[in-house]
Amino acid sequence: MKVIIVGGVAGGASCAARLRRLDEKAEILMVERGPYVSYANCGLPYHVGGSIDNESSLLVATEQMFRSVFAIDCRTNCEVIGINSRLKTVDLKNHLTGEVTTEKYDKLLLSPGSAPIRPPLPGIDLPGIFSVRTVPDARNIRAWLDRSTDRSVGNSFTGCDTVSKPKHAVVVGGGFIGLEMVESFIERGLEVTLIEKLNQVMPPLDREMAILVERYLTKHGVKVELSDGVAGFRNTTNGSLEVLTESGKAHPADIVILAIGVRPETALAKMAGIELGQLGGMRVDEHMRTSDPDIFAVGDAVEVKNFVTGQWALIPLAGPANRQGRIAADVIAERDSRFRGTQGTSICKLFEAAISQTGISEKQLKEMGDTDYEKIYLYPNSHAGYYPGAKMLVIKLLFRKSNGLILGAQVLGEDGVPKRIDSFAMAIQMGCTIYDLEESELCYAPPFGSGKDPVNFAGMIAANILRGDMPVCHWEDTDKGFLLDVRNPQEIAVEAVPGATNIPLPQLRSRLGELPKDKEIMVFCRSAQRSYYATRILMQNGFNVRNISGSMLSRSHRAEG
C-alpha cells in the first residue's frame, strides 16, 4: 500500500507517524510545500513577541527525523500541482530543482491547512503588511521590526534615535492570532491599535464577555477600534504606513498585521474533484474520508461537526487537527476509528489573563433559534479568597432549560482559568448536566480552589434555577419589574441603580410590607449571592421574585442593544 500525505504540519504529520506505527510495510510519502514539516505555528506570535526567541525551538520534528525514525519519504519544498483521482496519481513539483514527478497512490491524505484572508484592498501589498502563518512569516516580521530599529542612527543624547524606530503597530482582526499579536507588540514596546470589523473582539465569546476583554486591552494601553472595517492602506510621506478604515479614519502604522481569519486551502480539493461543504471546507465523514473513498482530509481545510450545535464548522485549531490525523491513519490502516466532532474548546493568553470557551455560545443559540436554554453569570474567586493571589473569575454558563444539559461555558480571568474550562469541557464531552456539576469533586487546597469550586458553584446556581428554588432574570429583562437592591448603603453610595428600591438584606424580613405583591420583584446585590438569599425569603413570603444573575457585576459589562 502506498499512501501520499499532502501537508507535513499538525494533521498530516500526526497521520504519517501514526500510520507508520500501525503499518511497518506501508509506503508513505509526505510532501510539504513549505520549508519545514511539523513546526509549531501556534508559537509564531510568541516568536515575534520575543518570548520564544529561538526560531529553531518551533521546529518540532525535522524531515530527517521522519526519514530516520519513521521510514517516511518526507519531502519539503515539494508542492502538489495536480491530482488525477481516476488514475490515483499526484503531480509533485520540487521547488528547489523545478523538477516535476508523478507518483501513484493507493490512499491520499490532504492536510493543506488554511490561508490567511487577504482581502483585495488598495495597498494590501505594500511592504510592512504581514500575516502570521508560517515560520518565514514570523522571520519576515522580526526582520522588519529589527531592520527599522537598525536604521535608527541617532543616540539618546541627541534625541534623534526615534526617527525610524517602529512605534505604531496596527493589528487588523481581534480573534486569537490578533490578540496574541497585540500582546507581542505591546511587549516589544510598540503602541498598538486593534481594528475589528465586528462589534466585539474574540468572536467565540458572547458580546458582553468580549466587553471585558476590550476593557482589558484598553487598560494595557491598546487602542481598540470596533465596528470599523479596513478600507485600504497607503504610504505616508515619512515612509511609514497608514491604515484607512471604512469610517474614514487613518491609523498610523510602522507595521500592520492582518489577522482577519483564515480560509481553508481548497486548491487540492478542486484538483481532486472532491466535494466541498457550504462553509468552503472539504466535506468528510466521521472517518475523515472525503467524497472520494480513497482520499482523506484533515485539519483546517475540512468541515467538521460541532457536536454541541450539530452544525458544520470550520475549526482551525491544532488539537482537532492532530486527533483527525490520527483517526485518518487508523482508517487507512483499516480500523474503525471515528472523529466525534468538535466542541469548540479554546483558550487565549492575553497579558496576565486567559480567555476561554467551550461548547456553544448564546449568540449561536440565538442564530439557531434555540430558546430552550438558560444562562448564568458568576464571579467567584479563583481560589480561597484568604490565600494570596486569588483573582476574580468571570464565568458564563449556558444550559438546557428542559433537562439541565450543559451547553457551553465562557471563562475569563487572571488565575485558574484552564482548570475550570477543562472541567466544563470534560462535562460537555460526557453529556453532563448541571446537577452533575453540583456534585463534582474537584481538587481543593487554598492555593488552588475553594471547598466549593467555581465549577460546583456554577452547578449549584443553575440547579437552584431549574429546581425552581431561584427564578432568575437578566438585566435585559428588567424594564418593567420592581427593582430591589439588597446591598448596604455604603455600596449604593459608590454606585446606585436608577429606580431601584433599597432594603439591605439584614432588614428584609422586617420590611416586607414595603414591597409590592402585585409586581414582579427583580432583586440584585453585588454578585447575586445576597440577592439569592433575598429571593428565597421573598418567595417563601408569597412574593413574585427573580434574582438578577450576576447582579451589579454582570451589569458592569452588559452589552447594550
Choose the stretch contacting a second copy; rule: CB under 8 A; options: 107-115, 156-164, 239-247, 336-344. 336-344
Q: How many CB atoms sit inside 10 A of residue 167's CB? A: 15
Is residue 418 near a second copy by the rule CB under 8 A? yes
441 lines the binding site for a second copy (CB under 8 A) = yes
Positions 17 through 36 that interact with a second copy (CB under 8 A): 20-25
Residues 468 to 507 in contact with a second copy, rule: CB under 8 A: 469, 505-506
Instruction: Calculate the CA dihedral of residues 442, 443, 446, 450 and round it to 10 degrees.
Output: 0
Fill in the amino acid letter for 204. P
What is the full DSSP assignment across 260-295?
S-EEE--HHHHHHT--B-TTSSEE--TTSB-SSTTE
Residue 523 amino acid letter: V
CB of 268 to a second copy, least distance (A): 22
Q: Count the neighbouring beta carbons within 10 Å of the beta carbon of residue 98.
A: 7
Closest CA to 205 of 417, 430, 427, 440: 417
* Closer residue to a second copy, CB minimum distance, 161 or 436: 436
SS3 55: helix
Contacts of 270 (CB under 8 A, 6+ apart): none
Q: State yes or no: residue 52 binds a second copy (CB under 8 A).
A: yes
Residue 69 in contact with a second copy, rule: CB under 8 A: yes
Instruction: State how far Cα 161 lies from the chain centre.
Output: 39
User: Nearer to a second copy by C-beta: 10 or 272?
Assistant: 10
Q: Which stretch binds a second copy (CB under 8 A): 185-193, 194-202, 265-273, 342-350?
A: 342-350
> Pick the catalytic residue: 74, 78, 348, 525?
525
With 0-12 CB in 10 A as exposed, 13-18 as middle and 19+ as buried, what is 233?
buried
How big is the site for a second copy, counted in residues (CB under 8 A)?
88
Helix axes 10-22, 63-70, angle to 10 degrees: 10
111 binds a second copy (CB under 8 A): no
Q: Which of residues 147-206 bind a second copy (CB under 8 A)?
A: 176
Query: Which of 36, 66, 70, 144 lies at the binding interface for a second copy (CB under 8 A)?
Result: 70
- Figure out which of the listed residues 94, 140, 152, 429 binds a second copy, where binding follows CB under 8 A: 429
Our CB check for a second copy shows the closer of 160 and 426 to be: 426
- Spacing of C-alpha 42 from chain mean position: 12
Residue 403 interacting with a second copy (CB under 8 A): no
Give me the least distance between CB of 241 and a second copy, in Å please: 29
Q: Which of 157, 371, 443, 468 binds a second copy (CB under 8 A)?
A: 443
Hey, which residues between 270 and 329 contact a second copy (CB under 8 A)? 317-323, 326
Give the separation between CA 119 and CA 114, rounded to whole angstroms: 15
Tell me if residue 15 is catalytic.
Answer: no
Given the C-alpha cell 463534582, which residue does it identify?
440
- For a second copy, the binding residues in 501-560 under the rule CB under 8 A are 505-506, 509, 530, 532-533, 536-537, 540-541
C-alpha cell at 400: 438546557
Among residues 40, 182, 256, 484, the one that binds a second copy under rule CB under 8 A: 40
- The per-residue DSSP string of 391-437 comes to -B-EEEEEEETTT-BEEEEEEEESSSHHHHHHHHHHHHHTT-BHHHH
Residue 444 Cβ vs a second copy, minimum distance, rounded to whole Å: 5
Give the residue, chosen from 35, 203, 252, 446, that forms a contact with a second copy under the rule CB under 8 A. 446
Q: Name which of 295 and 421 has its Cβ closer to a second copy.
A: 421
Q: Which is nearer to a second copy, 322 or 361 (CB)?
A: 322
What kind and span of H or E run contains 348?
A: strand 346-350
Which residue lies nearer to a second copy by CB, 291 or 440?
440
Would you say 234 or 509 has its CB closer to a second copy?
A: 509
**What amino acid positions are annotated as catalytic residues?**
525
